[in-house]
């Protein structure tokens, strides 16, 4: 079975992530979305909330599974029986850091390949941190995250729900 792992913080999952998940699910037999247990940044959502939101947003993709992982990514990928790490690239600015991580992961385990997928152009400016900042400051995130994600973000940030604003 051709299985790939798509790792990340997903705090929260955005339409940009979902675009990559859909593209990967069309190419691989199984795509495991792997949520890192301790993201470097201070997360808005708990691990279980991040996992739950991705599960809800990928229900239409039968070959996508969602789990959590801790420790070295390449070790997790090997335990999953996968050989490929999927990474999304939005712009050239992503490249340097992703290149560094891909080479470090290869150094740690040369059997695992990193495969970069280009996100759709319409999501090339999108990031979880920008979405959080925009919503926190009263901006509109409608086309950037699924409605359930926006609802949960509003709740976590202590913002009024959209319905109560109308």
Give me the active site residues, please. 17, 41, 90, 128
Q: Residues 30 to 89: which contact ligand PNS by CB under 6 A?
A: 36, 39, 72-73
Tally of helices (H runs) and strands (E runs) in the chain: 7, 5
Smallest separation, CB 61 to ligand PNS (Å):
19
119 in contact with ligand PNS (CB under 6 A) = no
Q: Is 165 helix (H, G, I), strand (E, B) or coil?
A: helix
Spell out, one character per residue from 19 to 38, where the chain touches ligand PNS: x when CB under 6 A holds, - when not.
Answer: -----------------x--
Asked, as a colleague might, if the bond just before 70 is cis with ω within 30 of 0, I would say no
**Which range, of 46-54, 99-107, 132-140, 151-159, touches ligand PNS by CB under 6 A?**
99-107
In DSSP terms, 131 is beta-bridged to: none
**Within 13 A of 92's CA, how many CA atoms are on the CB side?**
0
């Amino acid at each position: 079975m051709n299985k790939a792992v798509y790792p990340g913080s997903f705090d929260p999952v955005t339409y940009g992530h979902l675009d990559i998940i859909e593209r990967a699910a069309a190419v691989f037999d199984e795509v495991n979305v792997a949520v890192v247990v301790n993201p470097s940044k201070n997360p808005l959502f708990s691990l279980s909330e991040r996992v739950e939101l991705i599960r809800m947003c990928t229900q239409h993709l039968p070959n996508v599974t969602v789990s959590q992982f801790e420790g070295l990514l390449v070790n997790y990928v090997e335990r999953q029986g996968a050989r490929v790490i999927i990474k999304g690239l939005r712009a050239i600015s992503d490249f340097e850091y992703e290149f560094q991580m891909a080479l470090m992961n290869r150094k740690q385990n040369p059997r695992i390949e990193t495969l970069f997928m280009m996100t759709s152009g319409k999501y090339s400016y999108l990031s979880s941190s920008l979405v959080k900042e925009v919503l926190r400051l009263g901006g509109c995130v409608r086309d950037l995250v699924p409605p359930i994600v926006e609802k949960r973000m509003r709740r976590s940030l202590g913002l009024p729900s959209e319905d109560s604003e109308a």
